[in-house]
Amino acid sequence: MAAALLCERWNLLIIRELYVGARRFNDIHRGLPGLSRTLLSQRLRSLRQTGLVMAVADDGSGSEGYVLTDRGADLERVLMELGSWGVRWSFPEPSDEQLDPHLLMWRMRLGLRPRCLPDHRITAELIFEQNQDLVRGWLIIDGEGSSVCTRHPMFAVDIHARARSEVWYAVWYGQRSWSDALSSRDLSLSGEPDLVRAFPTWFERSGFADEVAARYAAGGRSTP
């Protein structure tokens, strides 16, 4: 019965998105490339009916949000064990989809550590070198109200960060450390010195970053 419920395509990934902090429909959808809005709506309805997810009023805006119930949150161990298994036995080189700059920016948004952020709004321009193109995005760091913009937000930019998409991916998922990417100049940061120094501390990387780092340190794969 558990397999019939959890192994239906997308269900565990939707639960993962809620577990890492997505709340609104668009936020969940943004973290799952390839999942149509229609199918996401159907899956959320099914997960609500099975008692894993519940709808809540979202941040006073009048729109609906979603959170895990106690039953859904109890799947944390399942998610973590699956992820750990994947690191040990099935961690291939990233696909083009996984290197998508907008997806990586969204992961960074979800990984912000509220307790470590400055007490005022910071605008960071993130630049991804992808093939021969530059993809720009802006991370508006403002506590719980932090957001990602794909167009210039018209705020003064406090920090500029630039790297190849492969480097952003490697740092986020633990194949490389912030310090290694910075010291090798594969990742560059510029702006007010105190903010530049603090920037890496504002993020909680992938929940499996430490395991991935240990695998790479043991000679699992070369780094980008």
**More confident of the two residues 218 and 153:** 153
Q: What pLDDT is attached to residue 61? A: 57
- Flag whether pLDDT at 35 surpasses 50: yes
Give residues with Cβ within 8 angstroms of 207, minimum separation 6.
Answer: 20, 80, 83
For residue 222, what pLDDT band results from cuts at 50, 70 and 90? very low
Rounded to whole angstroms, the Cα distance separating 142 from 87 reads: 32
Identify which of 55, 92, 95, 47 has the alpha carbon closest to the alpha carbon of residue 71: 47
Considering the entire predicted model, what is its pTM? 0.83
Question: What per-residue confidence (pLDDT) applies to 179?
Answer: 95
pLDDT-above-70 percentage for the chain: 95
For residue 111, what is the DSSP state?
A: T
Tens-digit pLDDT profile for residues 157-214: 999 999 999 999 999 999 999 999 999 999 999 999 999 999 999 999 998 999 998 8
In this structure, the strands spanning 147-149 and 133-141 are antiparallel
* 171, HSE (Cβ side, Cα atoms, 13 Å): 28
Percent of the chain clearing pLDDT 90 (strictly above): 73
Reply yes or no on whether the pLDDT at 19 is more than 90.
yes
User: What was the pLDDT predicted at 162?
Assistant: 97
DSSP of 160-192: EEEEEHHHHHHHHHTSS-HHHHHHTTSEEEEES
170 to 18, 120, 163, 173, 221: CA distances (angstroms): 23, 29, 11, 5, 11
